[in-house]
A and B are shown apart, each in its own frame.
Chain A
Amino acid sequence: MGNQISLLLVVIPLIAAPIAAVLPRGRLPWLLACVVASVCAILAGVQLWNVLNEGTISYELGGWQPPWGIEYRIDALNAFVALIVAVIAAITLPYALLSAEQEIPEEKIPLFYSALLLCLTGLLGITQTGDIFNVFVFLEISSLASYALISLGKDRKAFTAAYQYLIMGTIGATFYLIGVGLIYSETGSLNMQDVANILPSVLHFRTVETGFAFIMIGIALKLALFPLHLWLPNAYTYAPSAVTVFLAATATKVAVYVMLRILFMLFPQGFAMTTPAEELFIVSGIAGIIIASVYAIYQSNIKRLLAYSSVAQVGYMVLGIGFASVAGVTASLIHLFNHALMKGALFMAIGAIIYRIGACRMEQIHGLGKAMPWTFGAIVVGGLSLIGVPGTAGFVSKWYLVSAAIEQQAWISVAVILFGSLLAVVYVGKLIEALYFKPVSDTGKAVREAPMLLLVPMYSLVFANLYFGLDTDLTVGVAQQAAAILGGIGQ
């Protein structure tokens, strides 16, 4: 039974997606999606528990033995990422009801939930599978679903945003596929374990190196690594609120996972060291942290501000990968989890403001902190976590990241990480100042606090930010185990 959980995680949302599409309008599709997401979250939790206690789980799809058949192979690393995705989905879906009803035309609501479930299917699938071609399939499922989701945004610019993402995302996926093809031509296998065993003997072929480069660039596009991030700010800005929450907290995280898996497990120990990949990661991580943070400071649309901040945060994760040490990868994974919490909470809070005033530009939110104290509180906590103030989850990330950098004697990275926090102080400060200290407009006075259905999911993430800032058994413990699994790490 335990082994089948990995399959159920993919199959349940996959089957539910078309059902949601044909359900009558009203709240039934939402209810179905909610139930499915909650079931997935529970299953993912059980799965992580099993993996931590019993070690790696392997499931052979259709009874075909690997490497010929597709294998779902679960270790602490992907069980952890799957849990993040499923839990975020389970928290986002209750939140989605009201904001979707307001932002999305009624006749499209069943399709909306259907696409959301497909997106969940794809993201969970990526985490479960142990087959590099299968990763591509799920990547496309999640991407296509997210193009559709983004285009549902109320603003007409949502179409261009979705189109931009479609082009960039497709280029990324194609690059990935070309890379997989090249690897396949040398190894004759798609199973990760199998490829990992064969690769050392063919490593000297240029084809393998080319394949590696294609794969890395393809994934870098999907995870919005600076300077390949251009699709992200628009996509996050114009997507419906609930979609922004979901994608911001999960999509880039899954891409980071794929990158880790391929970099440190598929390719043999020290291979990345022989390529310029590590240096490129550090350089683009540093550039991303600084440039995207500076961009964030000058945004007047809050969603876009947070989107640029997300690009910067991806920089932190990639920086951790670039250190190519157990400590660095651990820090990346911790930040991956914590960033999902903080950005989830922040985008939910912004979504609540949009729900009340229909907009989220800096000058329109003046003084709203007093009218919406709970939402404001969520922004404060989320913002502090983003800055990395002690007592919040963000601090734990920063602590491990800086420790990893000090361990490598990478003093420039240390300085950049801390400087990035200071830039975060500026843009979070700007947001809080606008919400609390600017005089409220006349229309602003009539604004009421967001409804409970938005506040409860929001606060579950807010409290998670505080909880995981104080008790890090889960995050740090699992991240350390997961990092240890990635055998290919330098030291």
Chain B
Amino acid sequence: MINATLLLMILLLPLAAAVGIVITRSNPDVRERVTLIASGLIALLVMIMASRFMGGENFALNVFEPLPGIAIAFKVEALGMLFALVAGLLWVVTSIYAIGYMRGHNESNQTRFFAAFAVSISATMGIAFSANLLTLFLFYELLTLATWPLVTHAGNEDARQGGRVYLGILLGTSIGLFLLGILVTWSLTGSVDFEPGGILAGHIDPAWAGLLYALFLFGIGKAAVMPFHRWLPAAMVAPTPVSALLHAVAVVKAGVFTLLKVTMYIFGGEFILTNDVTGGLIWVAAATILIASMVAMTKDNLKARLAYSTVSQLSYIVLGTMMASKAGLIGASMHIAMHAFAKITLFFAAGAIFVATHKKLVSELDGLGRAMPVTFAAFFIGTLSIIGLPPFGGMWSKWYLGLGAVETTQLVLLAVLMISSLLNIVYLLPIPIRAFFGKPSGREHYTEIAEAPRPILLAMVITSAACIIFFFYPDPFYQLAGLAAGGN
């Protein structure tokens, strides 16, 4: 009973916060307090939930039954717990950051911004805790819709155009392919529940399983597998806190998380391995990793470069997922967490630079490091974690992904991972290096420029510290990832 209440609270509290934010719109200080309190509570609640979950407690809840045999139902399992933990912990950090950013930048429509943000978190939690594909799909679409006003926040033609691409690709793939995959699954098995070991084995001709898997792989547009990745760079017109939490963590991770769930609990790792379901598709992910990295190198706009880096990193997770071996799945699950903390740090830094200097291009950052040491130090740490060097958390997920590649004896995949790490170095590392050691171009002497407002710095310090902490102490994520992958 307590457990069900806890589950419900995590789902509903952000929604209640959204209502509170709208009600208190006339007083920004109170409004921001609502955000902070709600996000703080959520962080606390997911931690309580995680500790109870590790203690063996069960969380399950059925709400409605809109279609016979398919309920809107929630059930917490290890992978969902991991995802909820990441999103819940980072919401509070991002809230601190967002308040500093939105005020520092004098953005308009802040009430809509914070309210939509809260709804997005609720949708993310719904995805994390879904007990079946229908529930997951419901929140998946809700997340798309709730983040749309955030993408189009600026309201100018660029933002509207970005919003169109965003909505077009995400809704298009989800309705055209993902929903079709769900319906085919339903018509084959008469069930859409997530079951350990999968539900499809014995119901589908293995020859067709690859096609069905392709429906999911491309239908889950949030995983940004090429050629359906364009929405992510398009979403970068949003204010930076949105890019940071939603388009480096919540939305994109919801995509790969969904794919992981489908792989583990609909297909089943065993089924995939014995029938080689993903044999051909795995190269799509490998290609995405490499192509997106190369595109990232060509981008001078910092946020665009980070976006393509995200596309590439997401396909690490997709790759690990499709390996379907234990190490691959552990690596994929852990990368959800590790990439989240590193990438959010990078976006925080990009936003901080923008607020302090209004600079968006990588080529303008030479020498800025001396004026903004904290920002660029955080950026440096994030970069190293993304590359996967010790002593940063990113190393662990890459380690397991590499291990997975070795296990599948596909050494080409291992090579892809290695090359991509090198590419990461090429497109990310020069940024902090040029900032610290480069010379400002022209006559600019960054004497007037100081660090971004304090809430922004605080948020960056927290997440970059987390990158280091998770190297020494990856246990919570490792245990959850192991529990999730252990089902095979």
| A contact set with B: CB distance below 8 Å | 384, 387-391, 396, 398-399, 402-403, 406-407, 414, 418-419, 421-422, 425-426, 429, 433, 437, 469-472, 476
B164, A429: Cβ atoms under 8 Å? yes
**Chain A min CB distance to B72 (Å):** 7
A-B contact pairs, 16 of them (CB 8 A): A384-B145, A387-B171, A387-B175, A389-B141, A389-B145, A391-B141, A391-B142, A399-B183, A406-B187, A407-B187, A414-B180, A418-B179, A419-B176, A422-B171, A429-B167, A437-B160
A391, B175: Cβ atoms under 8 Å? no
Using Cβ atoms and an 8 Å threshold, which residues of chain B touch A389? Answer: 141, 145
Known: A390-B134, A429-B167, A437-B152. A421 touches B160 (CB 8 A): no
B64, A470: Cβ atoms under 8 Å? yes
Alpha-carbon gap, A391 to B72, bound state (A): 10
Known: A406-B187, A429-B167. A418 touches B180 (CB 8 A): yes
B160-193 CB contact bits vs A (8 Å, 1 = yes)? 1001100110011001100110011011000000
B155, A425: Cβ atoms under 8 Å? no
Using Cβ atoms and an 8 Å threshold, which residues of chain B touch A472? Answer: 66-67
Q: Which of B65, B137, B175 contacts A421 (CB 8 A)?
A: B175
Alpha-carbon gap, A4 to B134, bound state (A): 44
Q: Which of A388, A406, A433 contacts B175 (CB 8 A)?
A: A388
- Restricting to B144-161, which residues have a CB under 8 Å from any CB of A? 145, 152, 155, 159-160
B187, A403: Cβ atoms under 8 Å? yes
B295 within 8 A of A: no
Closest to B176 in A: A418
Using Cβ atoms and an 8 Å threshold, which residues of chain B touch A399? Answer: 67, 183
Alpha-carbon gap, A422 to B168, bound state (A): 8
B442 within 8 A of A: no
Alpha-carbon gap, A21 to B360, bound state (A): 70
Closest to B180 in A: A418
Using Cβ atoms and an 8 Å threshold, which residues of chain A touch B167? Answer: 425, 429
Q: Identify which of A396, A402, A414 gathers the most chain B CB atoms within 10 Å of its CB.
A: A402
A402, B168: Cβ atoms under 8 Å? no
Closest to A409 in B: B187
Alpha-carbon gap, A429 to B169, bound state (A): 13
B68 within 8 A of A: yes
B72, A406: Cβ atoms under 8 Å? no
Q: Identify which of B163, B167, B179 gathers the most chain A CB atoms within 10 Å of its CB.
A: B179
B171, A402: Cβ atoms under 8 Å? no
Alpha-carbon gap, A433 to B163, bound state (A): 10
Alpha-carbon gap, A470 to B179, bound state (A): 17
Alpha-carbon gap, A429 to B167, bound state (A): 9
A418, B175: Cβ atoms under 8 Å? yes
Q: Give the A-B pair count, Cβ closer than 8 A.
A: 69
Alpha-carbon gap, A421 to B163, bound state (A): 18
Interface of B is mostly: helix
**Chain A min CB distance to B126 (Å):** 11
Closest to A422 in B: B172
Give the 3 A-B residue pairs with the shortest CB-CB distance, closest first.
A390-B138, A470-B64, A406-B187
**Chain B min CB distance to A42 (Å):** 27
Alpha-carbon gap, A422 to B138, bound state (A): 17
B186, A403: Cβ atoms under 8 Å? yes
Alpha-carbon gap, A217 to B106, bound state (A): 62
Alpha-carbon gap, A476 to B67, bound state (A): 8
Alpha-carbon gap, A437 to B161, bound state (A): 11
**Chain B min CB distance to A382 (Å):** 14
- Restricting to B104-142, which residues have a CB under 8 Å from any CB of A? 134, 137-138, 141-142
B179, A402: Cβ atoms under 8 Å? yes
**Chain B min CB distance to A162 (Å):** 37
Alpha-carbon gap, A350 to B193, bound state (A): 40
**Chain B min CB distance to A335 (Å):** 14
B180, A402: Cβ atoms under 8 Å? yes
B175, A425: Cβ atoms under 8 Å? yes
**Chain B min CB distance to A180 (Å):** 38
**Chain B min CB distance to A484 (Å):** 15
**Chain A min CB distance to B200 (Å):** 15
Known: A422-B171, A425-B171, A437-B152. A470 touches B183 (CB 8 A): no
Alpha-carbon gap, A429 to B168, bound state (A): 9
Closest to B149 in A: A436
Using Cβ atoms and an 8 Å threshold, which residues of chain A touch B67? Answer: 396, 399, 472, 476
Alpha-carbon gap, A261 to B364, bound state (A): 72
Alpha-carbon gap, A396 to B167, bound state (A): 21
B433-474 CB contact bits vs A (8 Å, 1 = yes)? 000000000000000000000000000000000000000000
Closest to A399 in B: B67
A471, B66: Cβ atoms under 8 Å? yes
Alpha-carbon gap, A13 to B168, bound state (A): 47
A396, B183: Cβ atoms under 8 Å? no
**Chain A min CB distance to B253 (Å):** 20
11 extra interface residue pairs, beta carbon distance < 8 Å, beyond A389-B141, A406-B187? A389-B145, A402-B180, A403-B187, A407-B187, A414-B180, A422-B175, A425-B168, A470-B66, A470-B72, A471-B66, A476-B67
Using Cβ atoms and an 8 Å threshold, which residues of chain B touch A421? Answer: 175-176
**Chain A min CB distance to B94 (Å):** 24
B64, A471: Cβ atoms under 8 Å? yes
Using Cβ atoms and an 8 Å threshold, which residues of chain A touch B168? Answer: 425-426, 429
